[in-house]
Amino acid sequence: MLSMRKRGVKVEWNEYNDTSMTAHKGRPPYRLAYCTRQEAERAEALPPEIRARFSAEELSQLKSLPPRRLRDRLAGRLAAKRALAEHFAEEEGWIAEPRELEIFNDDAGRPFLRLPPGAMAAAPSFSITHCAEGGAAAVGGAGRRVGVDLETVVARPAEVIAFVSAPIENRSAGPDSPEAQARLWTAKEAALKLLGLGLGADARAVRPEAEDVTFTGLPAEIWRELGSPRVRLAYEQVQGAMLAVVFTGD
């Protein structure tokens, strides 16, 4: 069982539980789901209950992956199917089977959702992440974009943080502050995912603040193309990992 703390509330998660992390009352404008590393390791053998969650094409791709990549892929995909299934059930009234929610990657490595022919719903914005602690996925509410990142809280060398941060950010995210490092790193990567970019873009052009994210350079250009929406930020702590969700709108 996984323990999560969210805004001071401790939530327990049973493994193989298809329930989203978000509560129904006062929840944020996104849905969040998680898959533990232990669950992903058990799923690696692709037992019948796991195979039933994937289409034949998805299974073919999974079986071609080496063990570590397979565990990571399963952790992220299982979390994504959970969050997406709840989104469609609550927003569209569609009770989708997990295998109907086919998730693939485009040429740039970005995940996309393929729905069955005749599906009475549109694909929402969603984002997937994984680390040593497991996988997570976020699905944006109607008309919202979303990005998510999950990283193990561990001290990183100053030069690694300098690669993604401006000098003023470095001072508050030194090797003696692994939690601050994790918050900075996850916020930047989640924001770049929201924009459809990756860490190949200049993460120093992403500026996480207390509750919002601002941009300069190429990320700012993409943001303006999206209509210059407000971009907000929230964090969760999941055992030994930090999770950041970045989403558009008030």
- Reported as a single tens digit per residue, the pLDDT across 142-175 is 899 999 999 999 999 888 888 888 888 877 787 7
Query: How far is the C-alpha of 53 from the C-alpha of 103, rounded, in Å?
Result: 11
Q: Looking at 100-250, which runs of residues are DSSP E strands? A: 102-105, 111-114, 126-131, 134-140, 146-152, 206-208, 213-215, 231-238, 241-248
Q: What is the dihedral of CA 50, 96, 34, 125, to 10 degrees?
A: 130
Write out pLDDT tens, residues 71-130.
999 999 999 999 999 999 999 999 999 999 999 999 999 999 999 999 989 999 999 999
Closest alpha carbon to 161 in 153, 152, 170: 170
Query: How far is the C-alpha of 147 from the C-alpha of 101, rounded, in Å?
Result: 19
Q: What is the dihedral of CA 24, 26, 30, 32, to 10 degrees?
A: -60
Q: pLDDT band at residue 26, thresholds of 50, 70 and 90?
A: low
Q: Write out the two tokens for 14.
A: 């049973």
The arithmetic mean of pLDDT across residues 35-58, rounded, is 95
Query: How far is the C-alpha of 104 from the C-alpha of 124, rounded, in Å?
Result: 14
In the DSSP assignment, the letter for residue 89 is: I
CB 84 within 8 A of CB 121: no
Place of tokens 């974009």: 145
For the chain, list the domains and their CATH numbers.
1-15+36-123 (3.90.470.20), 144-250 (3.90.470.20)
User: How large is the angle between the packed helices 67-87 and 56-63, nearest 10 degrees?
Assistant: 150
CB 146 within 8 A of CB 138: yes
% pLDDT > 70, the chain: 90
Query: How far is the C-alpha of 8 from the C-alpha of 224, rounded, in Å?
Result: 35
Mean pLDDT of the chain: 88
User: Given the DSSP bridges, would you call strands 134-140 and 126-131 parallel, antiparallel or unpaired?
Assistant: antiparallel
